[in-house]
Amino acid sequence: MTLPYELALQAADELRVRAGVDSYDVAVVLGSGWKEGASALGEPVSEVPSSTLRGFVAPTVEGHSGMIYTVKVAGHTVALVSGRVHLYEGNTAAQVAHPVRTVIAAGARTVILTNAAGGLNPSLAPGSVVAISDHLNLTATSPLEGASPPASMGSRFVDLSDLYSARLRALVRSVDPRITEGVYAGFRGPHYETPAEIRMVGALGASLVGMSTVLEAIAARHMNAEVLGLSLVTNYAAGVTDTPLNHLEVLEAGQSAAASLGDLLARLVHAL
């Protein structure tokens, strides 16, 4: 069996050829709600279906199509990864991390991970964007489990004390001072939490909950990329209000925020 690291190096070579670029500088993983606005980054110079690249598994979530768009923004070559895959679709941690590993192996040193998340803070209205300051990985797995990474990559015992780049978070504040920061608790899902689980992670310091991002962030940091995480709060977490959670409100919040999210991404990439 091919090691996940080798697989990413091979997929990166395939991606560069298919996309017609020598290397990337920046990668943006587009989570729920973020894809619609991404056209603000400009017209893609190429589109590569991820199904044509080694090791990529097809997304099963509606609104996620597996595609890597290449856009040129302010002198940066940017890979827009659409169609994230999750543990709850039955994927392994390595499969979840593969797209991020691939774009980093193709050169991206800056990785922006976007997602939709539930918010624990009642004063944080749906539609708000929060920069992830740190995370609680509650998935009970790691993309670094298994065979040791090759010598060309870092040790699997990677330090995560600076996982979400302070420099990039400062850049977010300079682009939009209204954006606050919070700790993201990453669950496996796909069920939403119970109110007791939300009280638990709240007591542990979380202000965001979701089902993605944490494994990608770990894999990216392991490959020495600079990581930024951005959450679009689309719902109050369970028990925060009386309203039950539903997937539709998540999609609607994304649609109504699309233009401002695209604008934020464009301003950020310009500022890099």
Residues that bind ligand 8IG (CB under 6 A): 32, 116-118, 187, 189, 192-193, 209-211, 234-235, 237, 245, 250
The nearer residue to ligand 8IG, 117 or 220, going by C-beta atoms, is 117
- Is 270 catalytic? The answer is no
The nearer residue to ligand 8IG, 110 or 234, going by C-beta atoms, is 234
The nearer residue to ligand 8IG, 223 or 230, going by C-beta atoms, is 230
Nearest approach in angstroms of CB 207 to ligand 8IG is: 12
Q: Which residue is nearest to ligand 8IG (CB)?
A: 118
Task: Please tell me whether residue 49 adopts helix, strand or coil conformation.
Answer: strand
Catalytic residue among 11, 36, 38, 86, which? 86
- Is 247 catalytic? The answer is yes
Nearest approach in angstroms of CB 10 to ligand 8IG is: 32
Task: Please tell me whether residue 44 adopts helix, strand or coil conformation.
Answer: coil
- Is 121 catalytic? The answer is no
Catalytic residue among 247, 249, 252, 260, which? 247
- Is 116 catalytic? The answer is yes
What is the DSSP secondary-structure string of the chain? ---HHHHHHHHHHHHHHHHT-S--SEEEEE-TTTTTTGGGG---SEEEEGGGSTTPPPP-STT---EEEEEEETTEEEEEEE----GGGT--HHHHHHHHHHHHHTT--EEEEEEEEEE--TTS-TT-EEEEEEEEE-SS--TT-SSPPPTTS--SS---TT-B-HHHHHHHHHH-TT-EEEEEEE---SSPPPHHHHHHHHHTTEEEEESSSHHHHHHHHHTT-EEEEEEEEEEEPTTTSSSPP-HHHHHHHHHHHHHHHHHHHHHHHHH-
Task: Please tell me whether residue 247 adopts helix, strand or coil conformation.
Answer: helix
- Is 64 catalytic? The answer is yes
The nearer residue to ligand 8IG, 107 or 118, going by C-beta atoms, is 118
- Is 192 catalytic? The answer is no
Catalytic residue among 212, 222, 226, 238, which? 212
Catalytic residue among 24, 32, 117, 225, which? 32
- Is 165 catalytic? The answer is no
Nearest approach in angstroms of CB 15 to ligand 8IG is: 28
- Is 212 catalytic? The answer is yes
Catalytic residue among 226, 231, 235, 238, which? 235
Nearest approach in angstroms of CB 206 to ligand 8IG is: 10
Catalytic residue list? 32, 64, 86, 88-89, 116, 211-212, 235, 247
